[in-house]
Structure formats: structure tokens, C-alpha cells
Amino acid sequence: MNEEKKRAFFLLSPPAFYMLLFFIMPIGIMTSYVFREGAFGDARYIFTLDHFKDFFTTSSYHRLLFRSIFQAFVTALFSVILAYPLAYFLAFKAGRHKVIFMTLLLIPAWTAWLLRILAWKILLDSTGLLNLFLLSSGFISETAPYLLYSGTAVVITLVYIYVPFAALPLFSALESVDQNMIEASKDLGAGTLKTFFQITLPVSVPGVAAAFFFVFIPTLGEWVTPTLVGGAQGIMFGNLIQEQFVKTLNWPLGALMSLILLVLIIPVLFFFNRISGISEYAPV
């Protein structure tokens, strides 16, 4: 083995070991449960495909999965829409105060996850700030948790949580825009909007895709936020998976549901990475 190969082996071994230990092996163990009969604690290992039959013949599972995909899509879409102006400001308008504004954007993310969710639960409650504002404005006649315990409450809370994270790949993509191209566009008579749609936006498309999937993927498996602010009307597919592992102890079915999410996400992610190069702008 020559020096170059030794150096490559030395550099690649730690991340390869990390991927094997914390990604491939857990997925392999989880996959083994899919074909296993019995609940958690059963020492027997009997091969079965009954869990596939249970999942694919239960329409309520499918409805919840499609609804969760839609909620994750809406959450990711609104997160990108709200984060893009923030990233644009940081990249082109903040100047030497860029680090300060970036820090202010990320400060909410440094607080406890549950604390931020509970804060929105208080805001959306019948005695919360939002309902009191609607009551004083005459839009409603009595206080009631109109938004709390619904899919809308889940989307609002998740958008608030993920906007700072969506702004990071967008900022990275906008930072890569060649300022000379923007100046040349303006010198040729193009206005601000035309320059944005013809130069800035197309160059930032990989960052937009990265931001979208950076929100969409974890949101699709969410179960904490729907539990606290969604109620019975706002549960997602992640709640169903969590219930299989924790409450019913049906690990094989829970493992199958987890793998189905993985199977749905990975091909789409690879496809968009091939056509847009989103991995270059994904936050580390």
C-alpha cells in the first residue's frame, strides 16, 4: 500500500466506522425486527411477513402517513419562504454586522426544544395572547383554543422552530452568488427584481432544496410537537411509530413504519441531490 492509499485509509476510517456503528448497524438491527414475530421481550425469533400485511391492509395508517407528508411539506415550504428573506438580508444587506444578526437568528435555537413548544402551546391556548388579541379585536366573541390541538398548530410551531435552521443553507447558497454577475446585470439595465429572478434565485436553488429537505425530513418523523400542541386532530406518523415502540411494545410494526419513512425519503433525497447538488449547502 503506497503512501497516498495509506493517507486515504487513515482519513476515511473514522467516518466510515462512525457510519457503520451509528447508522448502518442500527438500521440493520431495526430491519431484523421487521421480519420478527412477537413483541418486545420475546426471545423467540420466528420469521413472519404478517407485519407487512397489517400495515398495507390498514387504511388508517396510510391516511396518517399521507397527512403527515402533507404537513411536513407545508412546514418545509413556509419555513423556506420565511427564511429566504432573512438569509438574503444576511448575505447582501447586513454587511459587517452579519455575525451579530446571525447570532440573533440562532439564539432561539439555543433554548430548550420543549420550552419553545410549550411557549406556543400557551400562545395558542384559549387564554393565550392570540385569542385575547382576536377577542379584543372583535374577530371572536368568546375565548376558545381555535388553533390549539390541530394540524395548524403543529405547522405553526414547527415553522417557528425550523426557520433558523432553514436560513443556514440558504445563507450559504446566497453567499456563493458572484457579486460581479449582479453588478453586470445592473450595469446592463436590469432592475433589482429582474436581477434577482435571473441571477440570484437560480444560483440559490440548491440552497433552497437543501433548506426544504433539512426541514421536511425531521418534520416527517415528528412526534413531540404533535403530542403537545396537535392533540387528536394533529397527530402525525411519528406519533404512531412512537406508540408502537413505547406503548404497545410492537417493535416489529414500529420498525416497519420507520423503514417505510426511510424508503420514501432516501430516493427522493438522492434524486434532488443529483439534479441540484443540495449536499453542498446542507448544514453540518
> Residue 207 in contact with residue 172, Cβ under 8 Å?
yes
Identify the domain containing residue 103 by its residue range: 62-280
Give the pLDDT band (50/70/90) at residue 256: very high
Whether 22 is in a domain gets the answer no
Give the pLDDT band (50/70/90) at residue 160: very high
Give the pLDDT band (50/70/90) at residue 76: very high
Per-residue pLDDT tens digits for 9-39: 777 888 888 888 888 888 888 888 888 876 6
Of 75-79, 82-86, 148-152, which range is least confident?
148-152
Q: What is the dihedral of CA 264, 266, 268, 270, to 10 degrees?
A: -170
The CATH number that applies at residue 125 is 1.10.3720.10
Whether 203 is in a domain gets the answer yes
Residue range 74-93: average pLDDT?
Answer: 92
Q: Specify the number of domains making up the chain.
A: 1
> Residue 281 in contact with residue 173, Cβ under 8 Å?
yes
242/99: higher pLDDT: 242
Whether 13 is in a domain gets the answer no
**φ, ψ at 47 (rounded to 5°):** -70, 135
Whether 7 is in a domain gets the answer no
Whether 46 is in a domain gets the answer no
Whether 99 is in a domain gets the answer yes
Three-class secondary structure of residue 36 per DSSP: strand
pLDDT computed for residue 277 by the predictor = 57
